[in-house]
A and B are shown apart, each in its own frame.
Chain A
């Protein structure tokens, strides 16, 4: 079964750091564009950022308010994506999901068309 497992969440004080991991299994991780999406308690979904596949250039993109504090990386040899979070604030408290872009290749080139494989999420709580 294709799945992602996130880990690394927990309780951290404001100003602290955490590194989240997302490990894929039964999944062609190498060619996937991978995302982080978060959801604050009782709130909606917020796109955090994305890392393209190495063949797609490997570039990262971020939600503007998070750029500079959050960094996404990947290690395809371990089928793993990371989210490094620094200078954490109380408003960063959320469930953090990793998700893979679905690629639509019907036109000959593959276009990301939304996220079709998701992990179960890991909870980050920023509090003193």
Chain B
């Protein structure tokens, strides 16, 4: 099974500053494609898909959210933190079943 590991577990960033969340896969994906999605989950809500193919932004997602990376190392960057970005963020691989999630990164405002 593929294990997804996120870092850090929690993050405090000032409004307007950059937030960076990392996700590492225990194995790389074949076919030269990055089978990696990012989700945002706010308290009391279901997750929301932000990014797929590691870097393709879902429709309606603000462009301050950027996904990058390849191989086994991926990053979600929020360029200028807004109050509504406070949430837990998860990466997920959809290359092989079981389609595992990272443990989550809690993003707060400093």
**A residues within 8 Å of B by Cβ?**
35, 37, 44-47, 50, 61-64, 97, 99, 101-102, 104, 112-116, 118-121
Q: Is the C-beta of B63 less than 8 angstroms from some C-beta in chain A?
A: no
**Chain B 7-29 near chain A by CB (<8 Å), digits 1 or 0:** 00000000000000000000000
**B residues within 8 Å of A by Cβ?**
1, 35, 37, 39, 41, 45-49, 52-53, 56, 58, 88, 90, 92, 94, 97-104
Residues in A neighbouring B94, C-beta threshold 8 A = 101, 112-114
- Is the CB–CB distance between A45 and B47 below 8 Å? yes
Main secondary structure of the interface of A (DSSP, over half): strand
- Is the CB–CB distance between B98 and A114 below 8 Å? no
- Is the CB–CB distance between A104 and B53 below 8 Å? yes
**Distance to closest chain B CB from A6 (angstroms):** 10
